[in-house]
Structure 1
Amino acid sequence: MTTARPAEAFEHGDTRRYRRGCRCTKCKAGANRANIKNRYLRQTGRGTMRTPDRAADHLLLLRAAGLTDQAIRKHTGICPDVMYRILRREGVIHAVTEARITRVPVPAATGAFANRAYIPGHGTVRRLRALVAAGWYQAEIARRLGKQKENLKQIIDRGESGQVAQYVANEVRALYAELHNQRPEDHGVPARFADRARKLAADRGWAAPGYWDDDDLDNPDFVPATEATPRYIELAENGLELEAQGYTRAQAAIRLGVSKDALQQAISRYRKALEEAA
């Protein structure tokens, strides 16, 4: 169970001390200044709430560099509940919280930490599968990475929910940048091997590089539109239908099995496509 930080943990004039019950002159003035600022930001279209994605990405980088969760919380001043909610990418966070997290510098991972630091593997798995879909068969990818084919196969088969070492992710990222827009046949790969790789990827539904932008590869909520009806259109139309039936966006997202942010992105993309078509 998490113990809330007391008012005394914050300086007078800090809105967090005011919210915890301190009504001294400094705390009242601090709360009043914050309210005026927030009202101005809302009126000018610059609200103080943010999605947790940028903060979550930075927390993962801090972890990958070898910082423990306790050390991260000490540097950022956030409590465990807030930290783990951000890592789950749930809800929204205040801009101040985002700033506290993102301004913590990422130390270079050295020594044992360079090998022991693990990060979510969805970006790495997507890059490897996309290369296979482009015709780079797994043995050739493994050779270029200097790894055993079986080790590479384990990463691919483990799926997007697995984790990979930071240095492996970096190596795969660099190889993908080099090969994703190249035809394997132009680089000594026999056509029969390239065709076999493409067929394997097609049978398993792996999206080729053309279906991905760089940012999409590392976005766990992004689904490439490889079907006849793009996934975002299907998701947006179903979500809007549920909202018409009285569901909130968060409730609709739960029923559709995606995060609220993923549904929001799909609807925004869908509406933009309609506007462009009109």
Structure 2
Amino acid sequence: MPADAARDHLAALTAAGLRPKQVADLAGISAATVGNITDPTTGRIQAQIERAVLAIEIPSRPGDVAPDNALVPIIGAARRIQALVAYGYPQSHLARELGINPAHTTMAALVGRPNHSSGATGQSITAKRERAIKDLFDRLQLTPGPSNRARDYGRRHGWPLPFEWDEDSIDRPDATPVRARWTAASAQAERRDQVAQLSDRGLPNWQIAFELGITKRTVERIRHAAPVGAPELDWGLDR
């Protein structure tokens, strides 16, 4: 078969954050074969190799498909940890939740501190750890943390809050947060009322998201955290 389709798919997988070795493992082929496909001088490949490569879905999150010990980009994990710190969770608390020594270089990389021996911050993290951080973020993102010091630290560093990131884009290097989405009680109440009104009209979450120019995940967060008729929520933003 012509190698073009497999080569283009490999490029898309690489752009999504998968490394050539991870692609090889997922496809059940050798790393050398992956390298051969990416070589622009390769004209044809075996049909079964093409099928194996094209069968790999392009992931929105490399950590979801990579083996536990595979290295994946750290950017989404770092954003999640930093957002939780800005939301009031001390770094030491988050480290304990993850089973990490607070002084370990992994924690330093997650909050953007350089490695003293090299002067650089880590760019990768194991897929197992990355998934654990996502699980922790999903569990804590709707509950303000207890620490004013952590909130002040996050504010000084300009770290976005959890709900200022869209879950569908937080792992993308080019993603940007929607800042100050909930910093004013009036804005929070207005958005909640909009969601409630559209919900009363029977619109599903995806259509509400389309109408308001937000993501479906954001709509789900609002409906989960603030049922119609609920009192004003204290997000801990002014503490």
Q: Which residue of 2 aligns with 1:208?
A: 161
Deviation for aligned residue 1:145: 1.1
1:122 to 2:75 alignment: yes
Q: Is the 8 A contact 1:145 1:172 kept in 2?
A: yes
The yes-or-no answer on 1:153 pairing with 2:153 is no
1:64/1:118 contact within 8 Å kept = no
1:164 is aligned to 2:125: yes
CA 1:60–1:142: 2 relative to 1, 3 Å: same
Cα separation, 2, equivalents of 1:58 and 1:157 = 20
Show CA shifts across 1:46-101 (max 9, x none): xxx99x65663273496289679x8357269731469xxxxxxxxxxxxxxx9874
Match of 2:179 in 1: 226
Q: Is the 8 A contact 2:82 2:154 kept in 1?
A: yes
* 8 Å CA contact retained: 1:135, 1:183: yes
Secondary structure at the residue paired with 2:37?
Answer: coil
- Name the CA distance, whole Å, in 1 between partners of 2:127 and 2:23: 6
Give the counterpart of 1:59 among 18, 42, 48.
Answer: 18
Q: Is the 8 A contact 2:75 2:123 kept in 1?
A: yes
In the alignment, which residue of structure 2 is the partner of 1:104?
Answer: 56
The CA deviation at 1:154 is 3.6
Count of aligned residue pairs for this structure pair:
156
Instruction: Give the secondary-structure state (helix, strand or coil) at the position aligned to 1:78.
Output: helix
Stretches of structure 1 lacking an aligned partner (at least 5 in a row): 1-9, 17-48, 83-97, 186-193, 229-271, 274-278
Question: Given residue 158 of structure 2, which amino acid in structure 1 is its aligned partner?
Answer: G
Task: Write the distance in 1 (CA, Å) between the matches of 2:84 and 2:30.
Answer: 37
Residue 145 to residue 161, structure 1, CA distance change in 2 (3 Å): closer
Supply the distance in 2 between the matched residues of 1:103 and 1:170 (Cα, whole angstroms).
23
Alpha-carbon offset, residue 146 of structure 1: 1.5
Q: CA deviation at 1:213?
A: 1.3
Give the aligned residue type for 1:147: I
Higher relative contact order (CA 8 A, sep 6+): 2
Instruction: Tell me which residue corresponds to 2:143.
Output: 182
Q: Residues 65, 205 of structure 1: CA spacing in aligned structure 2 closer, same or farther, 3 A cutoff?
A: farther
Larger helix percent:
1
Write the letter of the residue equivalent to 2:166: D
Report Cα offsets for 1:162-183 as digits up to 9, x if no partner.
1111111111011111111112
Gapped regions of structure 2 (runs ≥ 5):
42-49, 58-63, 115-120, 182-212, 215-239
Q: Which has the larger radius of gyration?
A: 1
Q: What's 1:195 paired with?
A: 148
Secondary structure of the corresponding residue to residue 215 of structure 1: coil
Q: Distance in 2 between matches of 1:217 and 1:150?
A: 26
Work out the percentage of aligned pairs sharing the same amino acid.
25
What SS is found at the alignment partner of 1:144? helix
Question: CA 1:127–1:103 in 2, change beyond 3 Å: closer, same or farther?
Answer: same
